[in-house]
Structure 1
Amino acid sequence: MRGILTRSLQKVGLTFSEAYGAASIVRNQLASKETIITAQIREEVSQVLAAQFGPATEEQYRLSRGQPIWIRVYRKDGDDVWFSRTIFRYRLEICGISHSTAEELAHSVHERLVSEYPGGIDREDLHRLACQMVLAQTGDYFARNLEAWHKLAQSDRTLVILIGGAPGVGKSAMAAHIATRLNITRTQSTDMLREVLRTLRPPELVPELHFSSFEAWRALDPDAGKDTTAARVEEGYNRQANEVELAVRALLERSQQEQLSIIIEGVHIRPSIVERLSLDSDVIVVPLLLAVNRKKTLKSFFKGRSLTARRRGRKHYLDNFDAIWQLQETLTHQAEHSGIPIVINDEEETSTSVRVFSLIASAVADCVLTDQD
């Protein structure tokens, strides 16, 4: 199967090594199945191509297999595009719709287009059709979110997403995923901002900058009067976060000036930061706190990190696990006090993603659809 599939994938533009690699993945994914039908192979290939090479390659593969019929989407600027089920599914998923439901909807919309609009469809008509079908199958909430993303794309408004959370809860991975789905080209980690600040401010001047966030308490005066470890962890963290927040705010002001959406993630994004921002009203700020609700889960995340980022090995984090857990409790209390949404990141990544996109889409809808409501 791998040889035939490799040659088939080369015909859609992949190099031999790319085609061979994709074919190997497909073979491994299907190896445990006793019987395999052609439809299963094609679906598995489509998923692998979309993940590895993007929706355009996946659509090219479907076309080469005689499925599905392509429908042209007409745009006012003359830059017409082909309807892509994969891209359309992505657009539904950023509304907070689950992968399976979004896949079914994308298939239904495509069938409707093939049946009623074989010669193509205007982009605005496609959007109205999509909203009608989403409303009918999933309800008003998701249809409203879809409309909100459409309005935001037509506006000059800037989207700022702030992701806070204790070390190890999955902030960086979530930020990367959101950036890919929302086509946001600017992302920033507060760890990197702290690293820059360290080169500008020596430990003699700002000692708390030169420790990990959960160890910044070591820079405190031992006679400062804090008599509990929890209080010292919180104070050390807050002192470090105060320094890093200056850089975060400067970055947000620059993003506002350039009207470029941005995602900033990191342990230094405190829930209360929103209260100290002075951005224009046309900037949509969506803060959230990522957390885990079980110590076992967080420890498993650290163990996984040691495999994907060797220089950020698990030992240092596990040796300071109590301080990290205390830091998470501090952040969750702040979030509850400030009314910032808390998203629990469990080991089921897909469900976490659905909750995050639902939250973001709803916040966007509250801003861009206010006048309509």
Structure 2
Amino acid sequence: MTRELRIGSPGRQWPFSRGLVAESLLNAGASAEMASAVARRVEAELRSGRRSNVSTAQLKAAVVEASRSMGGDDLAEVVEQQTAAFEDILVVAKKGALPFSRGVLSRSLEDTGLPPREAYALASRIDIRLRQQGVRSLSVTDIDDLTERTLQEVYGETLQRTYRFLRENRGRLGVLGSSGDAPTPFSKGILTQSLLAAGVPPDSARKVARITQRQLRGAEDRVIERRAIRDKVERLLEVEVGPEVAERYRLLQVIRHPPRPLVILLGGVSGTGKSYLAAEIAYRLGIARVVSTDSIREVMRSMVSPALLPTLHASTFTAWQALVDPNEEQPEHPSTEALLAGFREQVQQVSVGLDAVVRRSIEEGMSVVLEGVHLVPGYLSARHGAIVIPMLVTLPDADEHRRHFEARDKQTTQSRPLHRYMRYFDEIRVMQRDLELLARRLKVPMLDSFSIDESADQAVDVVMRRLLAELSPAERLSLLGQERAGDVGNGDPGHEEPLAGDEGG
């Protein structure tokens, strides 16, 4: 009866394997025939010595000697310097050291989205690299860094970033978009905010977010595609609230992650509530950047003297004064032509700065909401690489417009004096009528509700329609899926408003 040959120390032993010996020779560059021959010779020598227990050091010495005898000094030197397949590579962590395991690493790689076979192949590649370098121990950070580099070499940056997210957020769920960026942590709070923005009642929004989080945590995958989460939430919404709200949520998610940056232009004269409305629209659409044309004008004023551009240093409703001939007596109130001439000259000047902001947002791939009186329909045209959506905020009722100024005067502790706006209230109303005429001619949507919530609802609907109309067939398929790509945005083209600037101006 042949006695079993065991390798290791008394506390940890395993049966002798010619395969592990041959693998060590292959890692050292030996041919398959040489590796198999050396493994058979080593086994024969160990058994001939009638030994049943051999340490890994003794086995390593036997392999090196057989390699020298059968393959020469060069092969033996490489085998000796490397970490053999039957020797442990220790991974040192805070709680101690454990042997490196291809199986454990491959399961971590599967979390990035790799199929099991490819994950194990990559783990084996890392194992071979460590052994060829003669590594006997390394830290968890070292193995993670090596895994990242290998992922990038084989698969590119997307999987490398995904693995980095997993190592830096152990135990947390990651959400993977379609842009190839690193995953972002799943947030129940952000999901609740998205549901509220889509019109889901607060109790239902919190319930759906809570159920979604519980279901995701029960799944095996640690990184989930955003579309999969969206589909899960839509199914829950159909049950909890109804199909109409589920459809609105789906479209809102498309807006929150558009294929190209959104540039929303929110124009309107003073006192129409543009600033509050812009903040509400940005919140609902998940846009972090809101820029006021007044702030751009202030920057430009600091760089250009009043003597050079006097209209820039006036209010929009008093810019006409800079155009009056110094030899003529200045009237208390301007004619309509003079008022609009001064206003449009300042708009033209500020549009230079606005154009720079739009270009920068496109370069950075960031959506932005621009708000202010200088966003006159026709002055900022469509831009390649962005979806530009102009809108005009109006207050048809003059009495309501006055109440807006009075409320703002109290809220800003008179930092924007009411009497000044009331003195030129008629001029401001004339400017609004002119803007309305331009908006109708260029088919720019007008938001004319007294309520910010209602105006925000109108604005989100405008953005939804425009975005769906702007999507290319490939973008529709990517964002909406095969079964829905042809169901939206195919209505009567007469109901779609063209971009500002498409018809002149």
Q: TM-score, normalised by structure 2?
A: 0.51
Amino acid at match of 2:446: I
Residue of structure 2 equivalent to 1:321: 425
Is contact 1:89-1:102 (8 Å) kept? no
Instruction: Indicate yes or no: 2:83 matched with 1:83.
Output: no
Residue of structure 1 equivalent to 2:455: 352
Amino acid at match of 1:316: R
Instruction: Indicate yes or no: 2:457 matched with 1:330.
Output: no
1:226-254 CA-partner distances (Å, limit 9, x unpaired) = x9722222111111111111111122112
- Cα distance change on mapping 1:148 and 1:315 into 2, 3 Å: same
- Give 1:334 deviation, angstroms: 0.7
Residue of structure 1 equivalent to 2:202: 103
Is contact 2:252-2:285 (8 Å) kept? no
Residue of structure 1 equivalent to 2:294: 191
1:155-174 CA-partner distances (Å, limit 9, x unpaired) = 55211111100001111112
Residue of structure 1 equivalent to 2:342: 236
Residue aligned with 1:299, SS: helix
- Give 1:152 deviation, angstroms: 5.2
Alignment counterpart, residue 249 of structure 2, candidates 139, 146, 149? 146
Alignment counterpart, residue 396 of structure 2, candidates 293, 314, 317? 293
Is contact 1:203-1:209 (8 Å) kept? yes
Structure with greater Cα Rg: 2
- Give 1:352 deviation, angstroms: 2.1
Residue of structure 2 equivalent to 1:311: 415
- Give 1:74 deviation, angstroms: 5.7
Residue aligned with 1:75, SS: strand
Residue of structure 1 equivalent to 2:308: 205
Residue aligned with 2:347, SS: helix
1:235-280 CA-partner distances (Å, limit 9, x unpaired) = 1111111111111112211221222222211100001124xx3521
Structure 2, unaligned runs of 5 or more? 1-171, 177-181, 477-484, 487-505
Residue aligned with 2:265, SS: strand
Structure 1, unaligned runs of 5 or more? 1-71
Is contact 2:255-2:464 (8 Å) kept? no
Amino acid at match of 1:246: V
Residue aligned with 2:290, SS: strand
Alignment counterpart, residue 342 of structure 1, candidates 442, 446, 461? 446
Is contact 1:163-1:290 (8 Å) kept? yes
* CA RMSD of superposed structures (Å): 3.2
Between the aligned residues of both structures, percent identity stands at 25
Alignment counterpart, residue 373 of structure 2, candidates 267, 280, 287? 267
Tell me: higher relative CO, structure 1 or 2? Use CA pairs within 8 A at least 6 residues apart.
Answer: 1
Alignment counterpart, residue 214 of structure 1, candidates 317, 328, 331? 317
Residue aligned with 1:214, SS: coil
The alignment of Structure 1 onto Structure 2 pairs a total of residues equal to 289
Is contact 1:93-1:354 (8 Å) kept? no
1:271-322 CA-partner distances (Å, limit 9, x unpaired) = 1124xx3521x31111111111211111111111112223112111111110
Alignment counterpart, residue 248 of structure 1, candidates 354, 357, 361? 354
Residue aligned with 1:163, SS: strand
Residue of structure 1 equivalent to 2:464: 361
Q: TM-score, normalised by structure 1?
A: 0.67
Q: Distance in 1 between matches of 2:374 and 2:202?
A: 37
